[in-house]
Structure 1
Amino acid sequence: MENLLDNSSEFLCFVTDKDLYIRESNSIFNETFQQTTGFQAGQDLSTATLWVEKEKCLSAAKHCLHHPSDSATIDVHTVCAHSKEERWFRWEISALRNNNDIAQGVRFVGIDITKQKLADRQLLYQATLLDNVSDAVISTDTSFIIKSFNKSASFLYGLTAEEVIGQSAYELFKYEYVNDSAEAAREFFLKNYYWKGSVWYTRQDGGRLCFEASVTCVRSSDGSVVGYVAVNRDITAIATNYKSLFLQDQLKKSFLDALKEGIVIQNSKGEILECNKAAERILGLSADQMMGRSSMDARWKSIYENGEHFPGDQHPAMVVLKTGTEQRDVIMGVRKPNGKLTWISISSQPIFDRTGRLTAVASTFIDITKRRTAEEEKSKAEGRFRITLSMLGDNAWQHNFQTSETIFSENLFKLIGQSGDNPAENAKLWWDNIFPEDRWRLEESDKDYRAGTQEGHNIEYRMYHTDGSIKWIRDRGVVIDRDDKGMPLLVVGTHTDITAEKQLSEKLIGREKQKKKEILRTIIEAQEKERQEIAYELHDNISQVLSSCRLLLETVNNSNYHNILKEVRANIDQAIDEVRGISHQLNTTTLELIGLAQLLSDIVGKINHSGKIVFSLNSKNYKESLLIDPKISLTIFRIVQEQIKNVLKHSGASKASIHLSSTRKNISVTIKDNGKGFAPDSVKKGLGLINIFNRVEYFNGIVQLDSIPGQGCSLKVIIPIEQH
């Protein structure tokens, strides 16, 4: 208990025994109440001057003693004993139980909520002042919890203050924004602490209201935001009485013409009274052509989604006029005068006069032709793709990163003895039959795809067959479509049963090891022979030339200085020619590509452009003109490529560097990062590191891997040039 109290640096804590005598309290509690109520430890809780609402606290404490598994939360009003300052605290009350689950006392954990309470008072005071305003006024705290709801709000929303206070305004009120989306409006408000616009609201009784809404923040005396106030003015009559609106208010007409949605107003007979520009564009008719035309007019050539005729009396507007009930999101195909079929999603709602009589209907609609065409094309494409997959010799698949949908060929599941006849469950069925120990390979590949760092994959893993056997699968895929940011959209690939290949491979492991030893021995012998030839050239040619230079220099004096210098220079030129000749013998080809340094520079530029990490490249000591075997430069490139991938994938580094240098004897590259590092001896080499070591071993190079946890990693590779 002492540890609990001492470690509570943010909360007030004290405990009582089962007789409700206060026994212990933490320092923040003592400091707070010594300054406020003069609280003394050891007092009976019922006599302590800790709070004004004493009975509330005692009742909660006694309840927890009698029901140890329960807890209670209460807000308590406290008055400072000296300054008479009002303060509020929220207490979490629970029983202290022994091992037999019997209550031994009560624990109180509290937090000062005075600022919140004062803010609530301010909001309530402001709301009281506005209670007789004709506009709906709603105030919330900074978490959008409703704190006040004036009389006009109750009248317009059809809800009482008791029903809404304490609830989240965002969860309780769902608005349809006229010229904005809910997300955009909220983002604008949280950035500017102000928003104004028009919204539609549907009451619980089905009635719809249009508000001209404005939301602003409420600040305390110190300037901090303590809540928000929304003032909503009812403009339903203006928004729905379109005939009067168009005749009286040209500004509103301009507003409606600017909308992307088509709007049509029809009278009680179904005759069109008014429409906006979007309606003309979508339906392919001018306003003059539509005026007075009824939904029953035979010139409307409309169809259902299944292609059947859509009768005029079933049009949403006519259904509203018959039933008085709103119709929403009805799909209809409309044939334009030019013969083109346009698909629309239409909603219609009734307009009532002051007596409650249905006088007109307003319909809004949007053009969904492109969306519907795209959906149809997608469905057709998927059908064609399934047929194509079934015709392939191998077992093919396709994965869509946008929809997370995977399509498999019909023959694929025969690999594991399954039918795969439920396309919706096939992806899960395939995943469930993969060895749990092998799933990480696919998970890592998926992460690389989603990070945009992988063009394709070639993975092998084990799967369970229904006959109890284990199958080895080779999973290959490649990205065939990307979005504007270069992220993958579509990957296609194949699954191949390589079980027989794996079994054969296991049988040949021993032979391969022996063969590898023989290859290494042959390479070593070839290297030794080549070294002997180089040694011969150096000893019999270059060594003699340099020895001559040394003898000449030992005989130099003032009289023969110029002659000796001339002769030494000639000997050195000869030595250089000899060295150059040896180099040309060892390197018979030159790298005919873009060049290793430029290629690495391009990669570093791309990585830096991504902003994920800062890479630097130092290649000033590397010269493309040196005679380097193209296979070596390719090997260096692959090693750097592999280590860059390791840095990006595992290191968590913010900076990394590549140092590329070359001499006439070797080429070296060092890749360093400031990442989290690791202990090389305790970490199993992954496939990437194994490939690096194998590549360097093939060229008799040196790999130096240094890393310490928390101090980054350094990989240095040195590959000799001369012997290749």
Structure 2
Amino acid sequence: MQIDNKKLFVTNLLAEARQEDVLSIQLSDQLNDGFNKAVFDALAEGLVVQDAKGEVIVYNRAAQLILGLTKEQLIDRNFLENKVKCFHEDGSSFSWDLFPAVIVARTGTSQTNIVLGWHHTDGNTRWININSHPIIEETGKLTGTVTSFTDITAIKAAQEEMKRSEEKLHSVVNSSKNGVFLIDRNYKILLVNEDAVNRQMIMSGVPRIHEGMCFLDILPEHRRKPVKDALDSVLRGQSVEYEIVYTKADNQDLWLLANYTPVRDKNGEITAICFTTNDITALKTNESALNKSEQRWKFALDGAGDGVWEYNFQTKESYYSPLYKNMLGFTDEEFQNEAYEWHSRIHPDDLKKITGIDKLYEDHAIRNHSVEYRLRSKSGEYVWVLDRGMLLEWTPDGRPLTLIGTHKNITEEKMREESLLQSRQRFSSFMANTPTLSWIIDENAIFRFLNVPYLKAFNLTESDIGKSVYDIFPRHVCDHFIENNWKVWNSGASIETIEEGVDPDGKAQLFHIFKFPLESENGLRMLGGVALDITQKVLLEKRLAEEQEKKKREIIQAIMNAQENERKELAYELHDNVNQILSSSRLMLEVAIEKPNISHEFMRRSLNYLQDAVTELRKISHSLIPGTLRDISLEAAIEEVVQNINATKKIKITYQKEIAHSGKAILPEIQLAILRIVQEQCNNILKHANATEASISLNIDSREILLLINDNGNGFDTVNTKKGLGLNNIFNRTAYYHGTIQLDSSVGNGCSLQIRIPLPA
């Protein structure tokens, strides 16, 4: 074969080795020609020719360099099959039976673009792209295979780098909280992240997204035209943004903020569109809730009558709501939105309450405030307000910007507080100064309140409030005390009782106690009590009872003594007067009998004596039980006594009376007592006073009897002079009828006796 024929053969062989059709190449001895060998070695691809048995017949230099094998290793099938570990792109092992040349030799079918990797002798992983074809004679017999391969390690590295870049891009895009689409100029989806896919899946009646589909196809029919218009605007270099709401499969609204932005290459040409969707459903929900909240807040403020104010720290601008101004009696026009309008109306005594608040906000010492003070209204009267404010906004550098707050009219509350405070002060003053002991106790026998008199009475301190009654008093006292408490709780009614106690020295005491139920507190029944120490009262009553008993005995004794004296007086009168008169009358009668001739004279004398006896007996009878009180009034009976004494010419007594009440309505016993007192005092004056004049005054009204008896006699020392029987009788009769007596006398100044006896109603 000539040289030109050799070149043509090799050229055809190489060309056919790169084709995917079945080769019909006649391999001849000329392949080993030096010229052909040179051509083989000049090729950049590796080239290996094997016979029908798979033995390597020829290979070029590129094959040895790409594979990194020696000549011996390259032609050693056993070495290639057992020592060289090859693997697929997915990392799985590439067995010898799957080598392209082996498959071609077995099947006669070409194997193209087979990618194979192995560990090169330099320690790195290498990748080659293999094409293997059969060599068939004209007779159709397969005589061998020719395999070409190209080192694609750099290409694989570039592909891996591109894959990693794409993965990074997808990772970045997928990590976005927004839905992201990359759309080409024909509206095809080049890239879509998971958020966009997931968001599309919850939509109703839309297809599932995948890369390569038309972006408009994923939209509802009514949205396609406006979106296409937006895409076209972006392709003209504009950016588009709007809010849109979709209905999800669960009939809930999905609010999206859609944004279209052009993507440009390095030459500034628009090559694609970046479309992002941000889920603003929560924001819209919050906006709606905020609007509703603001409406409710405004309604609540208006309903509560609270005025709203706002203050800007940086511009010093102020705002006051119409309700704020109306609270002070102003119209919206009359009250300017200026800080001085507010500040100039603060009560001078309250300025110190708000001075420095701005500074506290500026120093970040507070974030809100609440203070009560007075503002002067349009009428000139002061209105109490509760000023509450909070810092709403800050400047970018952290300074306070907007302060917002409310003013609430609390005038009525302050008046009630003042009234309550005064009431508490009065109550505290009352409880501290009342002579009664007051307390509050719960069902566990714990004192909740003790007033000052209680603390003083038992030598206690404020620290004893909160202690059990058993920690303070003896058990026997506490048991009775608690027993009565439960009577109140069980009945739900107040009780009045007498309880025993002990003073700090352990002496027994008696208390008049009122106990009453109070409202429960934290589930515990409460009881209030008021007590008055009646220990001294009881002792005095006992002593008074003893003295009254003694007085009664004295009265009885005086009555007995008076009766005895009256008997003596009666015996004396009967013996000395009546007896003598009757004796004289008897004598006259005896003489008349003996001397009949002169009997008439003696009988006349006897009759005179008998008349004197009758008169004397009548006087005695009147002195014992004056019949005049049965027949005449008290004042008339006293007048009879006065007339009888004046008839003796021993003393002159004047008698005055003023009767505003019928004497007959006075009990006979009382009338008799008054008459006896008059008789007794007149006898005392006649016997002891050596008086020349005396006066008696009797005044009777519906309430009492007032008797005054005065004389100008010797008088006596009322302190050192012992009362005689007559005065004792006067005092006892007066006391018996619950009257009062006043005796004024001194030596040489006469005597004045005043007696008051109350009349029954």
TM over 0.5: no
TM-score normalised by the chain length of structure 2: 0.30
Q: Which is greater in Rg? A: 2
Scaled by the length of structure 1, the TM-score of the pair is 0.31
